[in-house]
Amino acid sequence: MEYDFREIERKWRKFWADNQVFKVEDNLAKPKYYVLDMFPYPSGAGLHVGHPLGYIASDIYARYKRLKGFNVLHPMGYDSFGLPAEQYAIQTGQHPEETTKENILRYRDQMDQVGFSFDWSREVRTSNPDYYKWTQWIFSQLFDCYYDENQNKAVRINQLIAEFNRAGNVNVKATHDCDRVFSAQEWSGFNATQKEAILQQYRLAFLADSWVNWCPALGTVLANDEVINGLSERGSHPVEQKLMRQWSMRIKAYAERLLNGLEKLDWTDSIKDQQRNWIGKSQGCSVIFETEDQQNSIEVFTTRPDTIFGVSFLVLAPEHPLVKSLTTAEFSEKAEEYIRVSSLKTERDRQANVKNISGQFIGSYAVHPFTGEKVELWIGDYVLASYGTGAVMAVPCGDQRDWDFARHFNIEIKNIFESVDISEGAHTEKEGKIAASDFLTGMTVSDAMNAAIQKIEEKQIGKGKTNFRLRDAVFSRQRYWGEPFPVYYKEGLPHIIDAKYLPIELPEVEKYLPTEDGKPPLGNAQVWAWDTVDNQVVDNINIDNQTVFPLELNTMPGWAGSSWYFLRYMDPHNHAEFVSKEKVDYWKNVDLYIGGSEHATGHLLYARFWTKFLYDLEYISFDEPFQKMINQGMILGRSSFVYRLPNGKYVSYNQINGQDVVPIHVDISMVDNDKLDIEAFKNWRSDYANAEFILEEDGSYICGHEVEKMSKSKFNVQTPDELIEKFGADTLRMYEMFLGPLEQSKPWDTKGIGGVHNFLRKLWRLFHDQEGNLMILDDAPSAESLKTLHKTIQKITTDLEKFSFNTGVSNFMICVNELTEQKCHHRLVLRDLLLLLSPYAPHITEELWEKMGYESGSINFTAFPTFNPEYLVESAFSYPVSFNGKVRFTVELPADMSKEDIEKHILGLEQTQKQLDGNQPKKMIVVPGRIVNVVV
RNA sequence: GCCCGGGUGGCGGAAUUGGUAGACGCGCUGGAUUCAAAAUCCAGUACUGCAAGGUGUGCGGGUUCGAUUCCCGCCCCGGGUACCA
């Protein structure tokens, strides 16, 4: 019987599904292991061969862990809210839910074909009301909390209110945006609106007017990580700054913990560094400069307090609140013009003109806190209003931008560094000694830093401070296809709908576009008001602002649902809680997370933030979601090209010979081994129907190729479906792993897939005789076969532990090659081989397992073979003998021979004497079991 | 600019973390089998040289008995990031 992979794979997929083989119970008696893939957004394009790469790796690992006796949680779901479905809806009028469902069906079908061992009974979809009910609930918890910096955790807002009632906010240490200090008496005098306005400045989910990245083309705001070089991540549309009233998340409160938490995670340095940079902690100090007229004071933030005597001017952001009052009449016109011009610049313009130095003197001066000298005040848009204090002390000798600015505007450049030349640029290195700086003179930079901060604090003109680049995260989107907020507005104040009435389901709308008066799409909904008596969503006509109120029109961003989905898998059908304490205490956090590195500063940061928050409230017992993470590389496409000559003929690649040609992408399905199917090409498009060719000598047309990202427009997309049809899922799984290290990006090339397919056929033959009948021998295997087997057990095990899946495949090939040569048909060897291979190639191994007479469908729940080193003991070793490091010959010697004996033996050899050519060896290096080196 | 990766045959990639560079697969060459093809099997395949040999892991140095591996200085490619004070 031949290896009929189609029949075999169909059979086992059905068996697994019918018997729910991979359904996992919360078996508290067994040790747990949680293997998770980043869940996909189900796009209309379906999966290409790049998508399953990570899923295959995680599936192999999950199956391996099961064989090792772990209770493995290995779920899958869909991040099913998102922009593409909504834009498709705008174009076609089709409800995003419909398209999303269709896409999910296609994804599921494609994933099923690969033979993954997901427990589909735990599937989650973020757009499912049963799911987003809890996303809304978590939002309401964030709304109900503030961050207490004394306890260093999130605490219920009631406790803050109690403190306000007791003593105002004088003693409160919390992360907040509140710039006023009030007493208990004042607090009790505030009305409800005033009180809530203040509370908003403390809540972890809060409403605030903030500068946001507004994308007019998409009609929505975007988070910082959704903006790349001033353009939207999706669609590359321009983004501008706009002041809007938006929901935000006070992620800043967690900056320090998000930074420190990275230490204990088993992630790549690259991702950790990206998060560190994004969080952007910088230590320094604030310094207050009094203005010359002593009417105002300007606070700056600096990381170089040691250079305070090098200050020659201050620069304020054009948006700085004091600019207006500090500008003298003489300069007001110029200053206003400068402010106007810079406000028109989008973030993108500002970035594009980084080299352009611009600024404006505003006519007044500050006073240097130590020297009492006058310091010019300037505005310049290289200073950002949103970072630090929105003002900097400029030290041209120590900072290149300040140096450029000073040079450009002809401002004095003081040198406060000992024997450093600053005529051609600033001295930015933190080394050397400080000069001409009063009490700092003669100190090293680091000593001077400490001394300066100490003095500044003594004089009460500032204090040591830590700044973070991390901004609070905007949480409102002007979209339809996202989670609605459980929020209604009463007298302009947001009120949270009680958890027992959740979910608040997305309303039906006629159009998915913003309303004519610029409200978000939910503004089109007819039934979108909250009845506080009946506690339900009712028609807008009932709004009386007495008992029925308008609901929030924004929806939540894409990262809301993906920030906690890994928890829901543990308890996906729980209607009473987002996850039960018992289950989350058993499964804990994800042991192995596999996904792309493009989520470094988005999803991975937000998920960590929400995890820490839920930990603070003691809903979960761990504060990092993903212990170990592997980022699979991108699989690139291999595009094929035909070349058109100016005369319209198509010339084969090797016949171009430097002629002027236009390369044209051709669909890779028409190309086999770079050879073009000419008929298919002619039939592809009408304008190619009469194409003429200049062919190779053998009459074929050879295409050129290039490695590029896979995309429809380049006709280089390879879907898994057609490969599975042609070679089977087991072949595809092993081939994707064989391509190279998981983390590396690599070009997709179908050429080698035949080699992997041959391997499986060869494996099949190992279990059968020449006539194709099953042939399993029950007598004792040879020592040689046992050696092959145990060598393989050892290698496969270490490869799996190192996630080196590509070398794993090689080692299987070596093993099967050796066993074939040994004509090994022994039960004991083949049984273990099947177990070893089953994580990689589950279908063929289930089939052979069953044929060998073992229980059907049990192979993934048996036990992984254990390595026995006894079988590998060698009696002899073939020593490479080198002279001055160059290997000249090898010699077979007993493995237990002593160093001295080896040395003697080698020296006595004729070959050695020949190599020595009459010279005396200076020295001999003998590494037992490794190498012999003779130094001449 | 800065921060992470990476550079090994015609190609994808191996190499116990200082010990025989190029495993495994693809491709290619030759052969067996076949009426023929497919499939399968065997042999060869870093470069150079008739050969002995010589040269080879981006480039230039260094440490070492011995370096793809460690150190110093460059070059190139990929990813991230930036008037962040």
Segment A644-669 shows an average pLDDT of: 82
**Cβ of A805 less than 7 A from strand B:** no
Q: Does pLDDT of A115 surpass 90? A: yes
For the CA of A914 and the C1' of B56, the distance in angstroms is 25
CA pair distance A656, A647, nearest whole angstrom: 13
For the CA of A804 and the C1' of B15, the distance in angstroms is 14
Q: Determine contact, residues A445/A306, Cβ cutoff 8 Å.
A: yes
Listed in sequence order, the residues at least 6 apart from A771 whose beta carbon sits closer than 8 Å to its beta carbon are none
> Packing angle between helix A720-727 and helix A753-766, nearest 10 degrees?
30
Closest protein CA to C1' of nucleotide B3, residue: A273
Chain A residues 385-404 with Cβ under 7 Å of strand B are 387-390, 392-393, 399, 401
Q: How many CB atoms lie within 10 A of CB A213?
A: 19
CA pair distance A379, A369, nearest whole angstrom: 20
Phi, psi of A616 (to 5 degrees): -60, -40
Q: Does pLDDT of A410 surpass 70? A: yes
pLDDT of residue A593: 96
Beta strands in A484-586 (DSSP E): 487-490, 493-496, 529-531, 536-538, 548-550
pLDDT of residue A586: 97
Residue A691: which region, alpha, beta or left (left: phi > 0; alpha: psi -120 to 50)?
beta
Query: In the numeric block, which tokens belong to residue A88?
Result: 């498709």
Q: Determine contact, residues A561/A81, Cβ cutoff 8 Å.
A: yes
**Cβ of A739 less than 7 A from strand B:** yes
Could you report the per-residue pLDDT of A540-556, keeping only the tens digit for each?
999 999 999 999 999 99
CA pair distance A488, A552, nearest whole angstrom: 6
Could you report the per-residue pLDDT of A257-266, keeping only the tens digit for each?
999 999 889 9
Closest CA to A846 of A110, A111, A1, A9: A9
pLDDT of residue A351: 55
First-last CA distance in chain A: 62
pLDDT of residue A205: 97
Phi, psi of A915 (to 5 degrees): -65, -35
Average pLDDT, chain A: 90
Could you report the per-residue pLDDT of A549-579, keeping only the tens digit for each?
999 999 999 999 999 999 999 999 999 999 9
Q: Residue A326 to residues A321, A329, A758, A768: CA-CA distances in angstroms? A: 10, 10, 80, 91
* A609 CA to centre of own chain: 14
Q: Which nucleotide is nearest to A804 (CA to C1')?
A: B14
Question: A425-463 burial string, b = 16+ CB within 10 Å, else e?
Answer: ebbeeeeebbbebeebeebebeebbebbbebbeeeebbe
**Cβ of A689 less than 7 A from strand B:** no
For the CA of A823 and the C1' of B41, the distance in angstroms is 14
Q: How confident is the model at residue A532 (pLDDT cuts 50, 70, 90)?
A: very high
Could you report the per-residue pLDDT of A875-929, keeping only the tens digit for each?
888 888 888 888 888 888 888 888 888 888 888 888 888 777 777 788 888 888 8
Looking at residue A546, the DSSP 8-state letter turns out to be S
pLDDT of residue A921: 81
Q: Which residue is associated with the tokens 């279908």?
A: A843
Closest CA to A348 of A470, A238, A217: A238
**Cβ of A356 less than 7 A from strand B:** yes
Question: A234-244 burial string, b = 16+ CB within 10 Å, else e?
Answer: beeeebbbeeb
Q: Which nucleotide is nearest to A883 (CA to C1')?
A: B65
Q: What is the pTM of this model?
A: 0.92
Q: Which nucleotide is nearest to A743 (CA to C1')?
A: B5
CA pair distance A614, A579, nearest whole angstrom: 11
Going A269 to A274 to A278 to A282, the CA torsion angle's sign is: positive
CA pair distance A528, A539, nearest whole angstrom: 6
CA pair distance A453, A466, nearest whole angstrom: 12
Chain A residues 399-428 with Cβ under 7 Å of strand B are 399, 401
pLDDT of residue A160: 97
Percent of chain A exceeding pLDDT 70 equals 98
Segment A440-450 shows an average pLDDT of: 90
- Which residue(s) pair with A487 in the sheet? A496
Task: Return the SS3 of A351.
Answer: helix
Could you report the per-residue pLDDT of A837-887, keeping only the tens digit for each?
999 999 999 999 999 999 998 899 999 999 999 998 888 888 888 888 888
For the CA of A145 and the C1' of B45, the distance in angstroms is 70
pLDDT of residue A704: 76
Here the contacts of A170-178 (C-beta below 8 Å, separation 24 or greater) are A173/A148, A173/A149, A174/A146, A174/A147, A174/A148, A174/A149, A174/A202, A175/A146, A175/A147, A175/A149, A175/A202, A175/A250, A175/A252, A175/A253, A176/A146, A176/A201, A176/A202, A177/A201, A177/A208, A178/A202
**Cβ of A806 less than 7 A from strand B:** yes
**Cβ of A874 less than 7 A from strand B:** no
Q: Which nucleotide is nearest to A755 (CA to C1')?
A: B25
**Cβ of A923 less than 7 A from strand B:** yes
**Cβ of A82 less than 7 A from strand B:** no
Chain A residues 558-577 with Cβ under 7 Å of strand B are none
**Cβ of A821 less than 7 A from strand B:** yes
Q: Which nucleotide is nearest to A382 (CA to C1')?
A: B83
Beta strands in A419-561 (DSSP E): 464-468, 473-474, 487-490, 493-496, 529-531, 536-538, 548-550
Could you report the per-residue pLDDT of A725-784, keeping only the tens digit for each?
999 999 999 999 999 999 988 888 888 899 999 999 999 999 998 778 888 999 999 999
Q: Determine contact, residues A114/A729, Cβ cutoff 8 Å.
A: yes
What element of type H or E holds A924? strand A923-927
CA pair distance A33, A357, nearest whole angstrom: 56
Query: For residue A277, which amino acid is it?
Result: N
pLDDT of residue A1: 63
For the CA of A707 and the C1' of B48, the distance in angstroms is 32
pLDDT of residue A352: 55
Q: Determine contact, residues A494/A570, Cβ cutoff 8 Å.
A: no
Task: Return the SS3 of A593.
Answer: strand
Query: In the numeric block, which tokens belong to residue A365?
Result: 């001066």
Closest protein CA to C1' of nucleotide B5, residue: A270
Q: Which residue is associated with the tokens 């089709």?
A: A94
Q: Residue A429 to residues A2, A256, A417, A476: CA-CA distances in angstroms? A: 71, 26, 11, 42
Find and list the nucleotides of strand B having atoms within 7 Å of a protein beta carbon. Answer: 3-5, 11-16, 19-21, 23-28, 39-42, 53-54, 65-67, 78-85
pLDDT of residue A229: 67
Listed in sequence order, the residues at least 6 apart from A823 whose beta carbon sits closer than 8 Å to its beta carbon are none
- Which residue(s) pair with A932 in the sheet? A881, A926
Query: In the numeric block, which tokens belong to residue A809?
Result: 């495949």
Higher pLDDT, A517 or A800: A800
Segment A593-616 shows an average pLDDT of: 93
Chain A residues 197-216 with Cβ under 7 Å of strand B are none
CA pair distance A624, A195, nearest whole angstrom: 34
**Cβ of A317 less than 7 A from strand B:** yes
Q: How many CB atoms lie within 10 A of CB A416?
A: 24
For the CA of A758 and the C1' of B50, the distance in angstroms is 39
Q: Does pLDDT of A672 surpass 80? A: no
Q: Determine contact, residues A564/A555, Cβ cutoff 8 Å.
A: no
**Cβ of A731 less than 7 A from strand B:** no
For the CA of A420 and the C1' of B71, the distance in angstroms is 30
Here the contacts of A207-211 (C-beta below 8 Å, separation 24 or greater) are A207/A245, A207/A246, A207/A247, A207/A248, A207/A494, A208/A177, A208/A245, A208/A246, A208/A248, A209/A243, A209/A244, A209/A245, A209/A246, A210/A243, A210/A244, A210/A246, A210/A248, A210/A472, A210/A474, A211/A241, A211/A242, A211/A243, A211/A385, A211/A386
For the CA of A281 and the C1' of B3, the distance in angstroms is 15
Q: Does pLDDT of A932 surpass 90? A: no
Residue A642: which region, alpha, beta or left (left: phi > 0; alpha: psi -120 to 50)?
beta
Q: How many CB atoms lie within 10 A of CB A320?
A: 18
**Cβ of A794 less than 7 A from strand B:** no
CA pair distance A732, A756, nearest whole angstrom: 8
H-only helix segments in A767-824: 783-801, 805-821
Closest CA to A501 of A460, A475, A538, A465: A538
Going A392 to A396 to A398 to A401, the CA torsion angle's sign is: positive
CA pair distance A683, A671, nearest whole angstrom: 14
What element of type H or E holds A114? helix A96-114
Q: Determine contact, residues A528/A505, Cβ cutoff 8 Å.
A: no
Q: How many residues would you count in chain A?
A: 936
**Cβ of A467 less than 7 A from strand B:** yes
DSSP string covering A71-112: EEE----B----HHHHHHHHHH---HHHHHHHHHHHHHHHHH
Could you report the per-residue pLDDT of A116-166, keeping only the tens digit for each?
999 999 999 999 999 999 999 999 999 999 999 999 999 999 999 999 999
- A303-307, A463-467, A566-570: range with highest mean pLDDT: A566-570
CA pair distance A661, A645, nearest whole angstrom: 5
**Cβ of A887 less than 7 A from strand B:** yes
Q: Does pLDDT of A348 surpass 60? A: no
Q: How confident is the model at residue A684 (pLDDT cuts 50, 70, 90)?
A: confident
pLDDT of residue A673: 67
Q: Which residue is associated with the tokens 């004091």?
A: A322
pLDDT of residue A188: 96
Closest CA to A257 of A139, A147, A353, A342: A147
Angle at A830 between CA A826 and CA A833, to 5 degrees: 150
Query: In the numeric block, which tokens belong to residue A591?
Result: 């042991």
What element of type H or E holds A221? strand A220-222
Segment A161-179 shows an average pLDDT of: 94
For the CA of A425 and the C1' of B1, the distance in angstroms is 14
Q: Does pLDDT of A350 surpass 70? A: no
**Cβ of A286 less than 7 A from strand B:** no
* A537 CA to centre of own chain: 37
**Cβ of A219 less than 7 A from strand B:** no
pLDDT of residue A354: 59
